[in-house]
Amino acid sequence: MAVRMKDIARDLGLSVVTVSKVLRDHPDIGPETRERVLKRMKELNYRPNLAARALVTGRSHIVGLVVPDLLHPFFAEVAKGLSSVFHTKGYNLVISSSEEDAELEQQEIEQLLARQVDAVLVASSQWSVESFRRIEEQKTPYILIDRKFAGLRSNFVGVDDERVGALATEHLIEVGCRTIAHVGGPQVSTAVGRLFGYRHALMRRGVAVSPDYIVEREQRATDASGYQAMVQLLGLDPRPDGVFCYNDPTAIGVMKAILDAGLRIPEDVAVVGCGNARYADFLRVPLTSVDQQSEAIGDRAARLALSVIEAKTPQRPATVLLEPRLIVRESSRRPKPA
């Protein structure tokens, strides 16, 4: 059905080996032979069977990516960055979504390992590191993206999440907020880091933190869960006058709850999100957000993956920590207090 080297070799009275060498630009091949082979390849529209090549070389030229949610713009941007770097190097990207579910993630990773991917990139929803031990056994390189694990010496590319929390919180303090709430995310390193940064910033500035003003959630961080969390926070006395949200979808829900309650943003409550989603600028109230450098993360992760794959000897794990940046928009733009 498909054209094989064998067919070309037969047509030209050559051996398969010769054809194979031409394909891979092997030096010792007669110029005339090379031409004939190349010509015939064009004619027959030959495409090497990458699966067969992978089997013998042990390199599939496939990289696996597991993210919690493809719809989340942050991960979509990372995927896009990865995909463009890999394309130029002849790698393909198998993308799978774990739906923020640890067990599903395990399955996806197993599946990828069985596929003999050359590396696995994961924004993990696990709380244990067991999956990663399995990857290590297989000697497949892996890189954690966005979310990391304290006890795991591994490659990591992401932003400094404590800085994220600190940037957002300090900004809220600076614009005059005194009762600053936090709507957190799932139990992963990013949420923990941002919460820590938030707490730390408040303490450093001598602003009181009451646990009542911190809403952590089991569920996924979406606009629906953000809405619900904010409704709860607005029931407190005094009500918060600033909110730092785990991510932008959460912040959108939070803002909706505030407006639905008849309050103004930022006059009554200032809001800061995280992720700097593309549409943040066009929202009902344009959203101040901490940029996570999604494109840079994709780019750096792809480069790191390639260097690890191409290294002859095992590399020691590298950490790429990018600086987050605060993008101020209307949702927190208030005159600074006197």
Binding positions for its own copies, rule: CB under 8 A: 1-2, 45, 47-52, 54-55, 60, 62, 69-71, 73, 76-77, 79-80, 83-84, 87, 90, 92-97, 99, 104, 107-108, 110-116, 134, 137-139, 223, 252, 255-256, 277-279, 282-284, 286
Q: Which is nearer to its own copies, 55 or 328 (CB)?
A: 55
Give the residue from 235, 180, 186 showing the smallest Cα distance to 203. 180
Question: Which residues are CB-contacts of 239 (< 8 A; sequence separation ≥ 6)?
Answer: 179, 233, 269
* Residue 94 partner contact from DNA, its own copies, none using kind-dependent CB cut-offs of 5 to 8 Å: its own copies
The binding site for DNA (CB under 7 A) comprises: 2, 4-6, 13-18, 20-21, 23-24, 27-30, 32-34, 48-49, 52-53, 55-57
Question: Which residues are CB-contacts of 197 (< 8 A; sequence separation ≥ 6)?
Answer: 161, 162, 163, 164, 165, 166, 167, 168, 169
Q: Which is nearer to DNA, 137 or 237 (CB)?
A: 137
* Residue 115 partner contact from its own copies, DNA, none using kind-dependent CB cut-offs of 5 to 8 Å: its own copies
Looking at the DSSP bridge assignments, the partners of residue 65 are 95, 121
Q: Which is nearer to DNA, 48 or 317 (CB)?
A: 48
* Residue 338 partner contact from its own copies, DNA, none using kind-dependent CB cut-offs of 5 to 8 Å: none
Q: Which is nearer to DNA, 56 or 150 (CB)?
A: 56
Q: Which is nearer to its own copies, 201 or 258 (CB)?
A: 258
CA distance linking residue 140 with residue 135, whole number of Å: 6
Please give the angle made by the CA atoms of 247, 250 and 254, to the nearest 5 degrees: 130
Please give the angle made by the CA atoms of 150, 151 and 157, to the nearest 5 degrees: 50
For tokens 């606009």, name the residue. Answer: 223
